[in-house]
Amino acid sequence: MRIVFIGPPGAGKGTQALRVAAHLGVAHLSTGEILREACADGRPIGERVQRYLEAGRLVSDDIVLPLVAERLKEDDCRSGCLFDGFPRTRTQAEALDAMLADDPAGRVVAVEFLVPEAELYDRLAGRGRSDDKEATVRERLRQYSETTSPLTDYYDARGLLQRVDAVGAPDDVFARVIEAIEGLAADD
């Protein structure tokens, strides 16, 4: 199974993604993490990536798409994976479908995390990551509502989306996410 998590920064996507991937026994594929690693390990693209991250802007597809394609070729992704923070645009969703055209692991299904915007600011303020500065957060939220949120239509129109209330205790959110995924799997 291929699962996509869509949600604004601060929605708890990353935490839930790790837990859900472990629960389902599939690989966790976080593009944010891959990009932060690319900065940290001194790859030539690191400096470019760093500039996008600090600005809170989406890293360009000529960087992101090859990194995803490379990661997907690894053994642990063969039977399924959970995409955390990818795709973030319609172009990326189409590129992912193309990458997975002959994929035996099943179609891509998506879960959207719903959190009111005011709560996101509170959560992000307490997190302390370098791209959690106020101006960067504002830009990341703007990018989300303008570019990534409309992406839910791409999956919804195909009956491949479930929306989850992501406010509340992490255990409760986890249970809702699993229920959503089971619903999507049942339709398979």
Note the residues at the interface with ligand AMP (CB under 6 A): 9, 31-32, 35, 52-53, 56-59, 64, 85-86, 88, 92, 131, 140
* Nearer residue to ligand AMP within complex by CB, 41 or 188: 41
Write down the least CB distance from residue 72 to ligand AMP, Å.
13
CA angle 54, 55, 58 (to 5 degrees): 105
Q: Which residue has the closest beta carbon to ligand AMP?
A: 32
Q: Give dist(CA 73, CA 59) in Å, integer.
A: 21
* Nearer residue to ligand AMP within complex by CB, 138 or 185: 138
* Nearer residue to ligand AMP within complex by CB, 12 or 85: 85
Write down the least CB distance from residue 68 to ligand AMP, Å.
8
Write down the least CB distance from residue 34 to ligand AMP, Å.
8
Sheet with 2-6: list strands edge to edge: 27-30, 81-84, 2-6, 108-114, 161-165
C-alpha 21, offset from chain centre: 13
Tokens linked to 123: 């959560």
* Nearer residue to ligand AMP within complex by CB, 150 or 183: 150
DSSP string for residues in 136-158:
HHHHHHHHIIIIITTHHHHHHTT
Write down the least CB distance from residue 52 to ligand AMP, Å.
5
Q: Are the C-beta atoms of residues 155 and 4 closer than 8 Å to each other?
A: yes
